[in-house]
Amino acid sequence: MATSGGKVLDFEEYVRTRQEALLRSARRLVPDPVDAQDLLQTALVRTYGRWDGIADKSLADAYLRRVMINTRTEWWRARKLEEVPTEQLPDASVDDGSEQRADRALLMDILGVLAPKQRSVVVLRHWEQMSTEETAAALGMSTGTVKSTLHRALARLRQELENRDIDARMLERDERDRERCAA
């Protein structure tokens, strides 16, 4: 299946090695797993036609993610709204997402206590779900260094969470004491 310049083989090799990571990215963009697969396939088809134009193949992931985002936006704009007018509104609880935003804010705040190298390792391993080897290659370090840095970083994050939990309990206790004194 090789063509002039080996274009097909290069692209096929890239897709084989990066497919799982790209599918994870697609899953972050659309909630349905089948739609995520469709999104990735559409992005791959669109990227194939421009594969030779990507001079720096190390940026192919970023290019494909941008194609997926643009494709998802096109799909969203083209969707059919199937609203059916009714006399009564359905009873629906609305989750305001404040707890999720608070958790995310706490995570971002706690990541700030890590050294930049530790933060990079944690984000690549756990947020981007890269393997130890992929993380090592991306950061230019050995796999052993990635493992030890990750171990220390997670221990530091656990300690920080415990400290904050202790601080929060102390604040609650102090507040209860003040309320009792005021009553």
* 172 — pLDDT class (breaks 50, 70, 90): confident
Q: What percentage of the chain reaches a pLDDT higher than 90?
A: 33
What pLDDT, on the 0 to 100 scale, is given for residue 1?
Answer: 41
> Cα separation of 6 and 31, whole Å?
36
Average pLDDT over residues 23-51: 91
CA distances, 56 to each of 14, 26, 61, 69, 117 (Å)? 13, 22, 11, 20, 25
Average pLDDT over residues 175-181: 73
When the pLDDT of each residue in the chain is averaged and rounded to a whole number, the result is 84
Residue in the structure block whose two tokens are 């992931």: 61
Q: What is the DSSP string of 65-113?
A: HHHHHHHHHHHHHHPPP-----SSPPP------HHHHHHHHHHHHHHTT
In terms of pLDDT, which residue wins out, 121 or 80?
A: 121
Phi, psi of 51 (to 5 degrees): -55, -40
* 56 — pLDDT class (breaks 50, 70, 90): confident
CATH 1.10.10.10 assigned to domain 113-182? The reply is yes
CATH 1.10.1740 assigned to domain 11-81? The reply is yes
* 170 — pLDDT class (breaks 50, 70, 90): confident
Query: What is the per-residue pLDDT across 96-129, written as a single tens digit (0 to 9) for each?
Result: 778 888 878 888 888 889 998 999 999 889 888 8
Q: Are 48 and 60 in contact (CB under 8 A)?
A: no
Give ranges for CATH 1.10.1740 in the chain.
11-81
Q: Which two tokens stand for residue 46?
A: 């669109």
> Cα separation of 164 and 170, whole Å?
10
Tally of CB atoms within 10 A around 134: 18
Q: Are 114 and 124 in contact (CB under 8 A)?
A: no
Tally of CB atoms within 10 A around 126: 13
Give ranges for CATH 1.10.10.10 in the chain.
113-182
Q: Are 9 and 1 in contact (CB under 8 A)?
A: yes
The pTM for the full model equals 0.44
What pLDDT, on the 0 to 100 scale, is given for residue 3?
Answer: 47
Q: Which two tokens stand for residue 74?
A: 């096109």
What pLDDT, on the 0 to 100 scale, is given for residue 2?
Answer: 40
In terms of pLDDT, which residue wins out, 48 or 86?
A: 48
Is the pLDDT assigned to residue 57 strictly greater than 70? yes
